[in-house]
């Protein structure tokens, strides 16, 4: 009897496969296509990342080879932006160009590039927080120098993962410019408590002692 049951079960399985083999085949094809697509997409992303890294190296060589003529660097950036719009390398290019514009005295262009970089970095994940916070520091420094205090304060009041001592130092500088000496003093003290650099502590102590009582 058990052999008859086993044979009947096997027969039922074969009958089910005969009736549903197309469905089974479609499911298997879908599963295999998903694996193949995932593999191809992963390879594609790796290839694109490698291509972006090569172009970024070309950009670095271009920007390091000149003091003021940025036409070649700007061309590389424009071509890069057309093909790799969401790559972190584009943000780094903008930050490096901003640094170059500062060195040649074009602060407005530097601010524009840093804003572009910062807006992009703010939308990215935790793995770029170091660069994001650096863009905030550089941008707020320029905004303070241009007396755009409200914009600078908005940036500096955000939560930082890095550069906290510099953040509070810049807040102190900002409040000092606004003649809010007691607030500035508290910011300088916060900065001093967060830095491990004795040189930085010395600079902050000088700033504190220079405040009018």
Token match 């994001």: residue? Answer: 132
Residue 143 parent element (H or E): helix 129-145
**Residue range 148-195, pLDDT digits in tens:** 999 999 999 999 999 999 999 999 999 999 999 999 999 999 999 999
Tell me the pTM.
Answer: 0.75
Q: What's 60-121 look like in SS3?
A: HHHHHCCCCCCHHHHHHHHHHHHHCCCCHHHHHHHHHHHHHHHHCCCHHHHHHHHHHHHHHH
Token match 């943000």: residue? Answer: 91
């Amino acid at each position: 009897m058990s052999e008859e049951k086993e044979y009947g079960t096997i027969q039922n399985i074969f009958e089910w496969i005969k009736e549903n083999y197309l469905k089974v085949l479609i499911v298997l094809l879908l599963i295999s296509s998903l694996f193949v697509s995932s593999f191809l997409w992963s390879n594609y992303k790796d290839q694109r990342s490698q291509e972006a890294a090569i172009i970024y190296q070309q950009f670095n060589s271009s920007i390091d080879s000149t003091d003021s003529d940025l036409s070649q660097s700007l061309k590389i950036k424009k071509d890069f932006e057309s093909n790799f719009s969401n790559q972190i390398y584009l943000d780094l290019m903008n930050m490096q160009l901003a640094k170059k514009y500062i060195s040649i005295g074009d602060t407005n262009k530097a601010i524009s590039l840093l804003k572009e970089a910062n807006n992009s970095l703010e939308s990215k994940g935790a793995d770029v927080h170091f660069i994001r916070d650096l863009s905030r520091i550089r941008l707020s420094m320029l905004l303070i120098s241009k007396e755009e205090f409200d914009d600078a304060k908005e940036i500096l009041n955000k939560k930082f993962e890095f550069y906290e001592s510099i953040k509070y130092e810049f807040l102190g500088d900002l409040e000092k410019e606004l003649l809010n000496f007691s607030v500035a003093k508290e910011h300088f003290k916060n900065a001093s408590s967060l830095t491990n650099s004795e040189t930085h502590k010395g600079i902050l102590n000088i700033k504190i002692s220079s405040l009018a009582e």
